Amino acid sequence: MTSLLGAGTIRIDVTVSRALACSVAVKANRPQGLTRMFVGRRPEEAPPLAGQVYSLCGFAQSVAARLAVLNAADMAMKVDERIGSGAGLLAERIFETLRALILHWPSPLPASLGATAGRHLREALAASQEIIAAAKAGQIDRAHLAAAAARLSAAASALGIPSQGDTPLPASACAAMLQDIGDDRVFNGRRPDPLTINDDPEVIARLCHEPGYASLPHLQGRVAETGAYARLAADDVEASHLVQRLLARINDVSLCLKQLTALAATGKYDEASLACGGATPGAGGYGAVECARGRLYHQAEIGGDGRLSSYRILAPTEWNFHPAGPFVETLLSSPVGTDEAAVRSVSRLAVLFDPCVALEVNVREAAHA
């Protein structure tokens, strides 16, 4: 059994017959009904509340909430706020990806890398928090942003993130992870079906009208995936599936660092690739943000009294760990075996899908299920 720290848990029970995964059950145990906290509040209260309620990717949650309530009120985000939002989203996505890899990797890092990895991760946290704090305060100064971005880049580099591409720097934590999974070919490669901005109209319509959609989202005839692998899956069919997923996450951090550096230099970035939104029927609006774990949605409706009459949130984890989603599809029929190596392989796969909650993995023989 493997456990990762977080709010709530995802339990993964794998039943094996003749060494093949013949059944996969995914059960989430997380706080329910949190969106009720938003109803009855003034729209401007939603963004700070979202950032406080959700400990992981709190800034992304607040930006998605801000976009939702602005669109519900038929208002637009001002230029300075858009720049700050972009900087904060990029900084948070970089740190959250690094944090999940360093803290949640199932195998311990070599002793020579463990202590230094912790120090560099703290350096990345400090730099990202500085950028996010400035964005929240509406005080993004491009010179200060450039300096903080440089510190964040240096910390990421020390952990193995290259300045370009997806090959980790030698003698680094990321290089050790790559070596750890290089020979793990338990899982067959699968091309992702990415959840994109083009899916927003259908997703929002279903979110608004289908009870329970936020916990079991779906698109007709598809197994949609979101996150770094969905955004950046390479065509390297020679690499193992786990390697492909790790390299996509490394590449995602590298590209975000480039965007953050360019934003500090020019004040411009590809806004649509990070966040967007729009109006929904009935004095409603939504915001969508590409965070570390994938596409996050907030949807808000404003009542006649000027307060929030309805609020919905759809997290990226719900797509990836859906009972018939990409994680389960990847795992089914894979030759995982039944020993500790099986638990380790399944845990590696789960970590590279990056759930935002604690993780528990159990593997058992069909005869004992």
Residue 313 annotated as binding site: yes
Integer angstrom CA distances of residue 248 from 26, 167, 170, 228: 24, 10, 17, 6
Spell out a b/e string for 76-103, using b for 16 or more CB atoms within 10 Å of the CB, else e. Answer: ebeeebbbbbbbbbbbbbbbbbbbbbbe
Alpha carbon distance, N-terminus to C-terminus of the chain? 16
CB 333 within 8 A of CB 22: yes
* DSSP bridge pairs for 20: 17
Residue 356 annotated as binding site: yes
CB 134 within 8 A of CB 84: yes
CB 27 within 8 A of CB 245: no
Query: 297: closest CA among 180, 217, 210?
Result: 217
DSSP at 35: G
Q: Binding site membership: which residues?
A: 313, 356
Q: Which residues are annotated as a binding site for Ni(2+)?
A: 356
Q: Which residues are annotated as a binding site for Mg(2+)?
A: 313
